């Protein structure tokens, strides 16, 4: 879509999985990409070079730890030095491993520290990132924000209580943001994904079981792929979605209803 060419996407956590697929979808359509990494600096630099040469856009990667919301301000200042505008913000990155201990698990084993980390990484990262992005979007007459959510806030997924409740919270927060940012011509939506085959899902203790169950439940008889999510996020940022705000689009291969 030509109205996307020359615009800039800021996205967190685009070294792999869903974030990478989203960034590549925008890059393919002529959008410049400012994206973050946490542990995979080399991979991030490689992707920036690849997207620049493949799609003729500008791409730069920046370090970010979503457990440190204070990092968003300097992140956006660094982006300001490299890009002349911000049009889209996608809050995508998610923590795993040690920081989710006490947050990823059965209800009786949940602990405030792990739950708080998931809240910081999910809700606070969305709020602070969107605030910084909105200040830039206002200067160019508007923009679009999308937060990643998951259907684990609608249906039971083993060990997912910490994530599921915070995805519900970020969906609610995105609706509040949509109401208040509308006057800046900024639309805010969420994309709620069913199980998608990424490293994050592979970290589930019952990955094989979730995968088999997803294929069984899906009306389309297959697992979700990162590209399945990227299309919905891209659509929400285009002019085709010009009157869609404060919504959650469920992209789940039909798994949630069964
Ligand atoms: N996979 C699913 O089934 C599924 C379903 C629905 C929704 N989602 C949501 O989609 C989003 C992406 O998930 P994914 O499956 O694509 O995950 P993923 O493949 O594990 O990728 C996670 C990304 O987050 C970054 N990251 C990790 N820890 C970080 C930290 N502390 N600070 C900043 N960035 C950090 C990683 O960067 P480095 O590689 O540099 O460390 C990576 O780019 C998440 O919000 C997730 O909840 C996933």
Q: How far apart are CA 12 and CA 9, in angstroms?
A: 10
Confirm or reject: Cβ of 211 under 6 Å from ligand 1. no
pLDDT in tens, the chain (258 residues): 458 999 999 999 999 999 999 999 999 999 999 999 999 999 999 999 999 999 999 999 999 999 999 999 999 999 999 999 999 999 999 999 999 999 999 999 999 999 999 999 999 999 999 999 999 999 999 999 999 999 999 999 999 999 999 999 999 999 999 999 999 999 999 999 999 999 999 988 889 999 999 999 999 999 999 999 999 999 999 999 999 999 999 999 999 998
Task: Give the list of residues 6+ apart from residue 108 with CB closer than 8 angstroms, or none.
Answer: none
Please say if 160 is a catalytic residue: yes
Tokens 């200040």 sit at which residue?
Answer: 135
- Contact (Cβ atoms closer than 8 angstroms) between residue 60 and residue 32: no
Q: What domains sit in the chain, N to C, each tagged with a CATH number? A: 2-251 (3.40.50.720)
Confirm or reject: Cβ of 64 under 6 Å from ligand 1. yes
List, in sequence order, every residue forming a beta bridge with 10; answer none if it has no partner: 34, 89
Catalytic residue selected from 5, 160, 211, 216: 160
Q: How far apart are CA 87 and CA 174, in angstroms?
A: 17
**Reported pTM:** 0.98
Please say if 207 is a catalytic residue: no
Nearest-5° angle of CA 169, CA 171, CA 176?
A: 95
């Amino acid at each position: 879509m030509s109205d996307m060419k020359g615009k800039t996407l800021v996205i967190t956590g685009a070294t792999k999985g869903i974030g990478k697929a989203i960034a590549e979808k925008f890059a393919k359509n002529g959008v410049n990409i400012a994206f973050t990494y946490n542990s995979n600096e080399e991979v991030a630099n490689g992707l920036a070079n690849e997207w620049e040469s493949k799609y003729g856009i500008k791409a730069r990667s920046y370090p970010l730890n979503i457990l440190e919301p204070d990092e968003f301000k300097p992140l956006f200042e660094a982006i300001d030095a490299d890009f002349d505008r911000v049009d889209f913000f996608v809050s995508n990155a998610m923590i795993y491993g040690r920081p989710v201990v006490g947050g990823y698990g059965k209800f009786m084993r949940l602990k405030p520290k792990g739950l708080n980390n998931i809240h910081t990484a999910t809700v606070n990262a969305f709020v602070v990132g969107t605030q910084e992005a909105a200040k830039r979007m206002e200067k160019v007459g508007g923009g679009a924000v999308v937060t990643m959510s998951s259907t684990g806030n609608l249906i039971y997924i083993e060990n997912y209580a910490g994530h599921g409740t915070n995805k519900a919270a970020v969906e609610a927060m995105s609706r509040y943001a949509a109401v208040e940012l509308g006057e800046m011509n900024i639309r805010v939506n969420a994309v709620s994904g069913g199980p998608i085959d990424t490293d994050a899902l592979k970290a589930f203790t019952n990955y094989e079981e979730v995968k088999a169950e997803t294929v069984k439940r899906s009306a389309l008889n297959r697992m979700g792929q990162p590209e399945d999510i990227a299309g919905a996020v891209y659509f929400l940022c285009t002019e085709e979605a010009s009157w869609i705000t404060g919504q959650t689009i469920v992209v789940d291969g039909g798994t949630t209803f069964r």
